[in-house]
Structures are given as structure tokens and as C-alpha cells.
Amino acid sequence: MTIQEQYNHLEKTIRGYNPSADFSHIRTAFEYADKCHDGQKRKSGEPYIIHPLAVAQIVAEELKLDSESIEAALLHDVIEDTPAEHADVSRLFSPTIADLVEGVSKLTRIQYATKEDEQMENLRKMLIAMSKDIRVILIKISDRLHNMRTMEYQSPEKQKQKSLETMEIYAPISHRLGMQRMKWELEDLSLKYLDPVGYQEIVSRLEAKKTEYDIFMQKTRAQVETRLDELDIPHLVYGRVKHPYSIYRKMFSQNKNLDEIFDLFAFRVIVDNVGDCYNVLGVVHDIFTPLLGRFKDYIGTPKPNGYQS
């Protein structure tokens, strides 16, 4: 995909959820970033502008953020890596966008004496950034996600350092912000470099059994949906195979191999009200025998963060 095709794809994504976005400003931000980064290359040898475009794509596709966030994502490295300054971005775009870009730059710029200091200071800085404008941390997490997706071009030492930082800081914050898909991908990409043998073993086994697992999930979903249709309960049912890091963690903590892990699959039934939640529970327990001591009622006893299911 050419740079222009990548930008066109970004615009198409934004139009899908925010047709009233300021596309002239977004294009201006892209063109300004392209000009500022002219001549710069990534470790892969690609033009540097590929990275801000990819970060903006994540911000749009995964998070569906506003025009200011898209512009800030496109510009997020101009203050850090080019002669452009806060005043330039503020004048050409807006003080808010300049503050977002500078906020992301500050999180990128921190230097540390020890690994422990680095993690604690990173976390503290992120919490401060979040208190001013949550969009700073959303853009930074998107930036880290794209960097992890392209980590193969870095040295082995850098791969391990960034993966550990991602696992200990960025993935947990993504989890706390409810960005589950991004959290899963950050964890899986980190595991790929922290324990490549363990990661590859799980991925290979999952790929080898993909057809078998797909059939099992379709059958299970159909069983539940048929019974809910009979009871006339409006519902949405979907299932997934758990992601590699989740499986890895269970194997490690329980000292089991993949075939001994019970909960490889997760199914979710979404209904309209609490009463129907308990009706669905009755249906599920009627179809499948519950494991003794494994049932948790988070409706009657919500999690500390307010989660109920």
C-alpha cells in the first residue's frame, strides 16, 4: 500500500464513524507531518511517515476518536523528532492539538537510571497525562501498539526491553481503560519476544487445531442460540479462542500443558436486562454441567470496578 493509499484508507475509516470530521484539517496535518519527516526512515527502511499514519489508523479504527486526536496522532512525533516546535503546531493547528502532541512526546522522552525507576516513573507520568487529557495516553498506547507490531526490525536487546515495558505498563493501562483487544495484542506481541519458544508453541498448536476449534465454537453457539430463540429471549452470542498470552499464563501458573487447560474458549451472551441474564444462566446450566466451585455471580456481587455479569 502506497503512502497515499494508506492515507485514503484512514479517511475512509474516519468517514465510517464520524462523517462530520474536519477532513481538510486532517489532510493538512498529514501533509505537514509528511513534510516534517521528509528524508527520515524507520528501522525497516520505510519512509517515517508510515508510522504516524499507522498510529492514526489505530486511533481511528480501534478507538474511533475525534478529529483532534487523529491530527495529534499524525503529528505525534514532529516535536520530538523534527525541528517543529509546540508554537508551530499551536499556530498551524490549535493549542489543544499542540498540547496533545507535546504530551505524547513527554511520555516518549523520559530517561531513567534503573529499570525499577523507569517503570514507576513511566506509570506516574502516564497517570498525570491522563488527568490532563485522556487522549494523550490513548495516542501513546496506539503508538506503542504500532511499534510492537514492527518490533522485528529492532535489536534483540531493544525487543526485550520494550516488550517488558509494554507488558508491565501499557497492557495493564489498556486493560484499566477497557481497551481489551489492544491489551490482548500488546500482551501477545510482548510474549513473542520475551519467550519466543513458548509463544510459537502455543500459536502453532492453535493454528493446527483451528478447524476443530471453529467447529466446536459454532456448535456451542448454535446450541445456546436455539434454546434462547425457543424462549423468545432477545440475545447476542459470540465466542472466541483465548489469546496466546492468556493461555500461556494459565499453563505457567497451573503447571499444565495446552491439552489440560479447561477454559480455552470464552462465550458471551448479551441480553437486555438482569432478569434475562439469570434466565440465560438457567439455559446454560441446563445444556452444560457446571463445574463445582467455578461459578461466579458478578451481578449479585459486582467487581470493585463496577463490572457486572
What are residue 269's DSSP bridge partners?
Answer: 237
Closest CA to 141 of 99, 184, 82: 184
Closest CA to 59 of 97, 85, 24: 97
What are φ and ψ of residue 114, in 5° steps?
Answer: -130, 165
The catalytic residue among 62, 80, 88, 168 is 80
What are φ and ψ of residue 47, in 5° steps?
Answer: -60, 140
The catalytic residue among 66, 81, 165, 201 is 81
Q: Is 80 a catalytic residue?
A: yes
Closest CA to 230 of 289, 295, 273, 282: 282
What are residue 79's DSSP bridge partners?
Answer: none
Q: Is 81 a catalytic residue?
A: yes
Q: How far apart, in whole angstroms, are the C-alpha atoms of residue 96 and residue 119?
A: 28
Q: How far apart, in whole angstroms, are the C-alpha atoms of residue 88 and residue 95?
A: 10
As separate numbers, helices (DSSP H) first and strands (DSSP E) second, the chain gives 16, 2
Helix (H) or strand (E) run with residue 224 in it: helix 210-230
Could you list the active site residues?
A: 80-81
